[in-house]
Amino acid sequence: MFEMGGGVEVKGGKKTKKEKKKERLEGVKKEMDIDDHEIPIEDLEQRYNTNVTTGMTSTFARQVLERDGPNELKPPKGTPEYVKFARQLAGGLQCLMWVAAAICFIAFGIELARGNFTCFDNLYLAITLIAVVVVTGCFGYYQEFKSTNIIASFKNLVPQQALVIRDGRKDTISAKELVVGDLVEVKGGDRIPADIRIITAQSCKVDNSSLTGESEPQTRSPECTHENPMETKNIAFFSTTVLEGVATGVIINTGDRTIIGRIATLASGVGNEKTPIAIEIEHFVDIIAGLAIFFGFTFFVVALFIGYSFLEAMIYFMAIVVAYVPEGLLATVTVCLSLTAKRLARKNCVVKNLEAVETLGSTSVICSDKTGTLTQNRMTVAHLWFDNHVHSADTTEDQSGQSFDQSSETWRSLARVAGLCNRAIFRPDQEGIPIPRRTVVGDASETALLKFTELTIGNIEQYRNRFKKVAELPFNSTNKFALSIHELEDPLDLRYLLVMKGAPERILERCSTILIKGQELPLDEQWTEAFQTAYMDLGGLGERVLGFCNIYLNEKEFPRGFSFDPDELNFTTSNLCFCGLVSMIDPPRATVPDAVMKCRTAGIRVVMVTGDHPITAKAIAANVGIISEGSETVEDIAIRKRIPVERVNPREARACVINGGQLKDMSSDELDDALRNHPEMVFARTSPQQKLIIVESCQRLGSIVAVTGDGVNDSPALKKADIGIAMGIAGSDAAKNAADMILLDDNFASIVTGVEQGRLIFDNLKKSIAYTLTKNIPELTPYLIYITCSIPLPLGCITILFIELATDIYPSVSLAYEKAESDIMNLKPRNPRRDRLVNESLAVYSYFQIGAIQSFAGFTDYFTAMAQEGWFPLLCIGLRGNWEDTHLQDMQDSYGQEWSFSQRLYQQYTCYTVFFVSIEICQISDVLIRKTRRLSVFTQGFFRNKVLMSAIVFQILLGNLLCYCPGMPNIFNFMPIRGQWWAVPIPYGILIFVYDEIRKLGVRRAPGSWWDQELYY
């Protein structure tokens, strides 16, 4: 009942928020409603006071520049450095420490007001607390500063140039100086300098992948083909690249007013989510604060009851609350996180925000962009169909995969067509670079074919030289084919060879024979059907299919020197011989399927969110395992069962492909339902806003969402995600700015490493915190006993600070090096509502069990040291009044000996030291038991964690230094103590170890039992 009520309420609350967001998104969309692409050129000229042949006048351009400002994206309003620093000082733990410091100052003030000028402990404590916050703040700030620098170094510093026509003259100027109305000329290889309306174009193609995620080149031409500016062909967008061809256009938007600029602004408008670790730490601070106030109040009442004055009781209250603050914890958490950040950096994940390290570990959904993240962002030949068989080509980045059988005659012909009928060429001087990575001038599919032929038949340039080209017809969208005519390499053979490639159905139309195993066979019904099946199959894989054919031209009809006119087609272009099909795709990265698999076993759902076409998206998803084998979409089931889509029960379908159009019509509840019901999701043709909506929907379902992406279009989603992961090489600046983490090698598999490290650090932080919290009790109980039983103070404030900030820091950090207890990558991601960093059983076990044992150890040692020096335990009780009387110089001990005040004080320091040593000894035992939460320490390997071992040695050495270094008594209140006082707490240390082993044994033996529930943390 309760839950339902709560659920409804939550949804209601979110809805209003969502509506607001929608309004804002709607606003952004509205802004995009421009008609610059629809109006006639003349109107455009008038609107921007320009001319489509001579351009603007430079004087007017200058005016416009003054009005609109330079054509560049305003760097996202970077957080000012002081705000960044202040943020480091304002976390949950930091706030706790600020409050504690304030309380210390108040207590100190009260002491001063009461005329006690000797007690500076509170002041020291306050100063130390502030120092700890500031120092760790500086440390964290420095870490972030460093990773920001790494990221900044990626920025492209070369200023962009643009070819502009002004006053009728062509001129190269810096792209920054372009203004609306400028006439610019772009050619293959250029970056488009602003949003432009195309005026003229010659086979111009652009790569919009950074904007929309489509890996296919888009044709740009002067006609307006769509009312939506995003879809129309006559607008080219800022920061996309021209792949081939040339175009001129009039600038219609510059700088932040471009589409890219607007998306970037959208990203900066998206609020950052609180990291899970920050939430955990706040929860933990709540626990601490609650316990502190509970304890403080209890003893406040007790103190009043005993007969202390109100003011004294108040001071005790404050002291207890402050004593509960784990001073060392902040440093421990910061260091542990930065250690992991460092470890990740070595594995090519740079973390911008330390806390993001852990976020990856709690991630339950990864929304991954396709292009460039899952795929190589490089068209590659994937399949060939010849001899009536589909052959798979090697699509791996490093050509380590299997190749196909190349012995067939048909293959030779096919390769020849692919090699010759191809205008793409390598840029010169790239001999050292592996073929797949060489840069090519040419469109994507020709590039793919060029690389493919270069790989399979060797140096294609020489090959082409052997077949002299006499004529060619480049690909155009009306013909949908390209052809070229070559002389043969055999000088005696005077025939010409015509090679042609193009859209498979167009090619097939022109063929009358088909080449099978080197034999030309008539292209009958049977072969046509085989062709159709193959074509459908390859198309169904989301691949772009091209058909290839050739013919030897009759030497009588076309003798040497015949003038071929490609425009008139004065030669045979029918009854050709079909060679085969080649299909291309932007193939997934080799490491991705494995990484996706690992994510799955780790209980992480990988959702593909792409701007690309549904078929391609689905094919890649199936390829990398996002849609697993055997999973079907509703449509698949419909086809299999031969029933209409509407009659399929959507719950039967594991997989689901939703495209942007469908998404637009879905309510947020429907989207939630879809995400809930289909474990395998692919979103295609999504806009940046829709990516944002998908991320929000996942978060609404309680998931911790990681988003990967590289394009500008991903940046709002990256920002919105719990952790945004941008690609370091392919990523745009906008994406990197919005992300929390950057993969320097663009490798999706690095995310898996990140997840593993994140989970490990969560586990290990838990251990570190448990370790750090434990000693709070032995630090607090002396004070409580001091108040209630009036014994001489067993443990001083400075000593506590030494434990917290010196001796115990290294061991607590060393737990960060602990190996995982079990295979953490086989577990489900933690449930952020249930699996807390610090839960009650952790606090209770640390405080009231291990902490209690440590307290007893300390008191045993304390009473031993007192008794051996002449103060018997029973005498100690109630001793405090005289003991602390500075004027009493002859106080009698149990033997009747008289002690001066200073002698008593040094005895008190001895007690401090003895108590300190006891805590240290017990903490050594504590750090050993904290190595594991469930397994026996012996299974985990007692000495395996070398850092931990050295930490223990360090702890002992530092303890000895503090005890025996001359001068310590008067500076830090440490006294050289007798050897046997080190030994007194050892039995308690052993007790801790044995008790914890018993606890773990019980937890392992009886899972789910009372013991497990109460004692497993």
Partner 1 sequence: MSANKDADGGWKTFVWNSERREFLGRTGSSWFKIFLFYVIFYGCLAGIFIGTIQALLLTLSNYKPTYQDRVAPPGLSHTPRSLKHEISFNINDATTYTQYTSAITEFLKPYADEPQKDESKFEDCGEQADTYKMRGDLEPDVLGARKTCRFSKTWLGACSGATDDTYGFKEGKPCLIVKLNRIVYFLPRPPISNGSLPAAVNLNPNLIPIHCNNRRTGEQLGEVKYFGFGGGFPLQYYPYYGKLLQPQYLQPLVAIQFSNITLNEDIRIECKVFGGNIDYSEKDRYQGRFDVKLIISS
Q: Which residues bind partner 1 (CB under 8 A)?
A: 2-3, 6, 833-834, 836, 839-841, 848-849, 852-853, 856, 859-860, 863-864, 867-870, 872-873, 887-890, 892-903, 906-907, 910, 970, 978, 987, 991, 1010, 1014
Give long-range contacts, CB 8 A cutoff, 24+ apart: 961-965. Answer: 962/802, 962/806, 962/807, 962/913, 962/916, 963/913, 963/917
Amino acid identity, residue 717?
A: A
Q: For residues 92 and 209, what is the distance between their CA atoms, to the nearest angstrom? A: 41
What minimum distance in Å lies between the beta carbon of 995 and partner 1?
9
Q: Which is nearer to partner 1, 188 or 782 (CB)?
A: 782
Q: Which is nearer to partner 1, 556 or 887 (CB)?
A: 887
Q: For residues 793 and 784, what is the distance between their CA atoms, to the nearest angstrom? A: 10
Q: 54 phi and psi, to 5 degrees? A: -105, -10
What minimum distance in Å lies between the beta carbon of 923 and partner 1?
18
In three-state form (DSSP H/G/I as H, E/B as E, the rest C), the secondary structure along 442-498 is: CCHHHHHHHHHHHHHHCCHHHHHHHCCEEEEECCCCCCCEEEEEEECCCCCCCCEEE
What minimum distance in Å lies between the beta carbon of 111 and partner 1?
17
Q: For residues 870 and 83, what is the distance between their CA atoms, to the nearest angstrom? A: 58
Tell me if residue 673 is catalytic. no
Residue 301 CB: number of other CB atoms within 10 A?
12
Q: Which is nearer to partner 1, 743 or 837 (CB)?
A: 837
Q: For residues 601 and 722, what is the distance between their CA atoms, to the nearest angstrom? A: 21
What are the CA-CA distances from residue 455 to residues 250, 400, 468, 648 (Å)?
Answer: 41, 12, 21, 46
What minimum distance in Å lies between the beta carbon of 298 and partner 1?
15
Q: Which is nearer to partner 1, 731 or 782 (CB)?
A: 782
Q: Which of 182, 207, 369, 387 is catalytic?
A: 369
Residue 994 CB: number of other CB atoms within 10 A?
12
What minimum distance in Å lies between the beta carbon of 20 and partner 1?
24
Q: For residues 763 and 361, what is the distance between their CA atoms, to the nearest angstrom? A: 10
What minimum distance in Å lies between the beta carbon of 834 and partner 1?
7
Residue 27 CB: number of other CB atoms within 10 A?
10
DSSP per-residue letters across 218-270 = EEE-SS---SSTTT-TTEE-TT-EEEEEEEEEEEEE-GGGSHHHHHHHHHHHS
Alpha helices in 574-702 (DSSP H): 592-601, 614-624, 634-641, 660-665, 668-677, 688-700
What minimum distance in Å lies between the beta carbon of 821 and partner 1?
23
What minimum distance in Å lies between the beta carbon of 177 and partner 1?
58
What minimum distance in Å lies between the beta carbon of 32 and partner 1?
42
Token couple for 176: 């920054």
Alpha helices in 50-179 (DSSP H): 58-68, 81-88, 92-113, 121-152
Q: Which is nearer to partner 1, 930 or 999 (CB)?
A: 999
Bridge partners for 365 per DSSP: 605, 705
Is 299 in a helix, a strand, or coil?
A: helix
Q: Which is nearer to partner 1, 440 or 857 (CB)?
A: 857
What minimum distance in Å lies between the beta carbon of 903 and partner 1?
6
Q: Which is nearer to partner 1, 118 or 153 (CB)?
A: 118
Burial classification of residue 640, based on how many CB atoms lie within 10 Å of its CB (0-12 exposed, 13-18 middle, 19 or more buried) = exposed
Closest by CA to 606, choosing from 360, 827, 366, is 366
Alpha helices in 307-388 (DSSP H): 310-323, 327-346, 356-362
Q: Which is nearer to partner 1, 578 or 909 (CB)?
A: 909
Closest by CA to 751, choosing from 730, 726, 734, is 726
Q: Which is nearer to partner 1, 6 or 78 (CB)?
A: 6
Q: Which is nearer to partner 1, 404 or 1011 (CB)?
A: 1011
Active site amino acids: 369
